[in-house]
Amino acid sequence: MSIRNFTPRRNSRRRISPFQNFLLIAVLTVAIGLQVSYPLLEGEALRLVTISTVYWGAGAMLLHALFAYRAKFAVRFFLITFFYALVIEQIGVRTGWPFGSYEYSGSLGYQIFGVPLVVPFAWMMMAHPIFLAARRVAPHWVFLVGGYGLMAWDLFLDPQMVSAGRWTFEITGRTVPFQPEIPLSNAFGWLLAGMGLMALLNFYLPKERRSLGTSRAVPEFFLFWSWLGGIIANLFFFDRPGVALLAGFALGVVVIWYALSVKLGRND
């Protein structure tokens, strides 16, 4: 019998390195800083901040996926979300299904057959934290909770972007409460499209659980900020208390459910 010394591997799979954690927080800070500046800007500066916010936010979420869940998870997440969003948006602008009839302006930069390149990255920006939250609170119903979460987030997004002229809807029927510029079909479309994306992500992304340490704060904080920031912006800057009430309640269901799960549930 022999006694062997055991030396733990560096950069243990249950933690991320201090540099990775610093980089995550730095990129997220830039994204949130850009969002904070949004209500204070106008014209070309506002347009550039709108685009930059999405890329920095998506960058933070992709870095988290890479550092916390490794390359296989991150690459699959990127490819599935990018191409799924692009295909759904291509169908949407051409057929009016499933969101309703809408059209993008040219203000969001380079377009791929009528869909701005930045749009799939907006999907990535919110799909990652909502997907992680859905996997935790409802592991057998990820597609439903995740799809609902994306729909709830869009209740903040669409009125803000339509008001800024980034895209427009053709209104032919009932509209979302407190949002006369958004057809009700858009909310149902997001629920349906979101469930499809979450089902694909849950099927193809590794389900291995691990303690992420402080890294978990990045998607958690971004999800919380998207909720709280949307409420504050609509109450105090956009003068749309109805949007703050509706979207705040809808997304708050996921945010509070997740917060309670972290506070009272297992620590994984």
Cβ atoms of residues 150 and 130 within 8 Å: yes
DSSP assignment, residue 106?
G
Cα 141 to Cα 20, 111, 239, 249, distances in angstroms: 31, 34, 36, 20
Global pTM exceeds 0.95:
no
State the average pLDDT for the chain.
92
pLDDT of residue 265: 78
Give residue-wise pLDDT tens across range 42-81: 999 999 999 999 999 999 999 999 999 999 999 999 999 9
For residue 66, the one-letter residue type is L
pLDDT of residue 186: 98
How far is residue 116's CA from residue 105's CA, in Å, rounded to a whole number? Answer: 9
pLDDT of residue 15: 75
pLDDT of residue 1: 44
| Parallel, antiparallel or unpaired: strands 179-183 and 102-104 | unpaired
Could you give the percent of the chain with pLDDT greater than 90? 87
Peptide bond just before 8 cis, omega within 30 deg: no
Tokens of 10: 């560096």
How far is residue 119's CA from residue 109's CA, in Å, rounded to a whole number? Answer: 10
pLDDT band at residue 268 under the 50/70/90 scheme: low
Give residue-wise pLDDT tens across range 142-163: 999 999 999 999 999 999 999 9
Residue 172, CB-side half-sphere exposure with 13 Å CA sphere: 8
